[in-house]
Amino acid sequence: MNKLHSILLIACVSIGFASCSDDDCEDLHLDNLAHYPNVLKGTFPTENQVLNMGETLEITPKLLNPENTTYSWLINGEEYSNERTFSYKVEKPCRANLTCIISNEYGKVEMNTSFNSNHDFSKGFLYIDDTFNFYDTEKKVKYEDCYSSLNAGKKLGADKPSICSNNGKLYILNNSSTSNADHLFVVDSKTLYYEKSATVGTHLHGMVILNDQYALAGGDGIRRINLKSLSNVSLTKNSSYSLFNGVVYNGKVLVNDTYGDPSQVKCYNVSDLLAAKENEMPSATEPGLDIIQNQKINFVQAKDGNVYTLESTDEGCSIVQIDKNFTVQKTPINFKPAKGPYWSSPTVGMVAAETEGVIYIASVDNNIYKYVIGDPNSIKEPFISADESELPIAATLQLNQKTGELYVIYGEQWEDYKIVTYNKNGELINSIVCGENGPSHIIFNN
């Protein structure tokens, strides 16, 4: 086991004395001072300590007068140990403030430093259930609840959260029924460091970024959120509105607003949504798009610049191309899209490659189809067959745009969920078990 022994400069200790009328008061105070815990220089670090994963930080302050002294070590303000030597093994990505309090009958000294792990989130992927977890694909090691260990024990408290990324920030919406909780969290996408949070509204289940300043959040109605201040304006309290699958495209927001009943895809002008006042949700533009959906389905923008979605009805299904003039073109498919669990938002959804004209779609029988744009023959047969575990696909397909690897979350309630990785040829290359708490998103930092 590697151990980091710290031998650096000690912080200064300031001691104040009460006033005294005794002629020998000054001598008495000086005598007391001599008996205070006196830490030798170089035996407590003052600068931040950086440790590799698996390494142990050890600190042993040395005293001129060690008799009858007690020690208290605090990590982020919480007592960790009362031993003379502080010892902490880094077992997952972390950062922390460290305080050492040494006391005897004459008084005490308090010293502070900090430490953090040397980790690289670009060498794997993050996945979120009710917190952030990290899987290192090089070491094939899973680190759970990194969010808490990187943020002084903070908890997301998220229940089946939805995530939106914009300008290096992750916006996490908590699908909570508690009105006085924090519903929206902002963290740095590279470090996972907490930045701020706010109470917004209950049952939040998706966000559409309108521009660098504003976004829409769905839940018990629709709210426009200021991404800088996190203040919000309620446009409507009508919970039947659903914008969790929306996409901004050529000045409009395209949305799927159905949970199960056939519904037409709607369009809203971005300018109207930005200008709307409280309780004045603008009307959808007329006519709507000629696309009918009977389940939650997302929209993706492909390499050709067009947006794609699925038409899903009892009579049949199609891949739908929407061009910049909002003209639609439908390609019939011989399968129905997957629905996934009730909490998934969108249901399972599809994902498009940014560098290739390819879209991956999950079917209701848990096969995955690879649609080569413009080639209807490419989706006649599954690209990846249903997993041998027979577990359903439980969340939106995720694509590592840099490597071309496809990530699929399989699982269901009361069963262990797992994340399976396929290469560009559809071959299984890795699988990890995540436990009974189903991941809802995967994030790549490469």
Q: Residues of the chain with pLDDT > 70: what percent?
A: 88
Q: What is the Cα–Cα distance from 435 to 218, expressed in whole angstroms?
A: 29
3-state secondary structure of 149: helix
3-state secondary structure 18-42: CCCCCCCHHHHHHHHHHHCCCECCC
Contact 45, 39 (CB under 8 A): no
Predicted confidence at residue 207, as pLDDT, reads 87
- Kindly give the residue spans of alpha helices, DSSP state H, lying in 159-269: none
Q: Give 222-259 pLDDT, tens digit per residue.
A: 899 999 999 999 998 876 666 667 899 999 999 887 66
DSSP E strands, 285-440:
292-293, 300-301, 307-312, 317-322, 328-333, 350-352, 358-362, 368-372, 398-399, 406-410, 417-422, 428-435
Predicted confidence at residue 11, as pLDDT, reads 35
Mean pLDDT in the chain? 87
Predicted confidence at residue 19, as pLDDT, reads 35
Predicted confidence at residue 331, as pLDDT, reads 96
> Of the candidates 106, 108, 4, which has an alpha carbon nearest to the alpha carbon of residue 51?
4
Each residue of 417-445: b (16+ CB within 10 Å) or e?
Answer: bbbbbbeeeeeeeeebebeeebbbbbbbe
3-state secondary structure of 3: strand
What letter represents residue 150's amino acid? Answer: L
Predicted confidence at residue 181, as pLDDT, reads 79
- Across the range 152-170, mean pLDDT stands at 85
Q: Say yes or no to pLDDT of 343 above 70.
A: no
- Across the range 135-163, mean pLDDT stands at 89
Pairing of strands 70-75, 132-136: unpaired
- Across the range 104-122, mean pLDDT stands at 94
For residue 150, give every residue at least 6 positions away whose Cβ sits within 8 Å of its Cβ, in sequence order, or none. 93, 94, 95, 191, 192, 193
Angle at 30 between CA 29 and CA 32, to 5 degrees: 65
Q: Give 52-72 pLDDT, tens digit per residue.
A: 999 999 999 999 988 999 999
Predicted confidence at residue 395, as pLDDT, reads 87
- 130 — pLDDT class (breaks 50, 70, 90): confident
**27 phi, psi to nearest 5 deg:** -65, -35
- Across the range 314-333, mean pLDDT stands at 95
Q: Give 415-429 pLDDT, tens digit per residue.
A: 889 999 999 999 999
Contact 253, 307 (CB under 8 A): no
Contact 147, 158 (CB under 8 A): no
Higher pLDDT, 251 or 262: 251
- 23 — pLDDT class (breaks 50, 70, 90): very low
- 6 — pLDDT class (breaks 50, 70, 90): very low
Predicted confidence at residue 15, as pLDDT, reads 33
Q: Residue 270: enclosing H or E segment and its boundaries?
A: helix 270-275
What domains are there in the chain, each with its CATH number? 3-118 (2.60.40.10)
Predicted confidence at residue 2, as pLDDT, reads 42
Residue that the structure tokens 């930005």 belong to: 274
Of 176-185, 192-201, 215-224, 286-295, where does mean pLDDT reach its minimum? 176-185
Neighbours of 324 (CB within 10 A): 11
Q: In what order do the strands lie in the sheet with 441-444?
A: 141-143, 132-136, 124-128, 441-444
Give CA separation, 205 vs 164, 185, 437, in Å.
11, 13, 18
3-state secondary structure of 71: strand
Of 142-151, 211-220, 362-371, 399-408, where does mean pLDDT reach its minimum? 211-220
Query: Residue 63 has what DSSP assignment?
Result: B
Contact 443, 165 (CB under 8 A): yes
Predicted confidence at residue 258, as pLDDT, reads 67
- Kindly give the residue spans of alpha helices, DSSP state H, lying in 98-237: 146-150
202: left (phi over 0), alpha (psi -120 to 50) or beta: beta
Q: Positive or negative CA dihedral for 107, 113, 117, 121?
A: positive
Q: What is the Cα–Cα distance from 229 to 107, expressed in whole angstroms?
A: 45
Q: What is the Cα–Cα distance from 149 to 389, expressed in whole angstroms?
A: 33
State yes or no: cis peptide before 66, omega within 30 of 0.
no
For residue 330, give every residue at least 6 positions away whose Cβ sits within 8 Å of its Cβ, in sequence order, or none. 311, 318, 319, 320, 321
Of 10-24, 153-167, 211-225, 316-330, where does mean pLDDT reach its minimum? 10-24
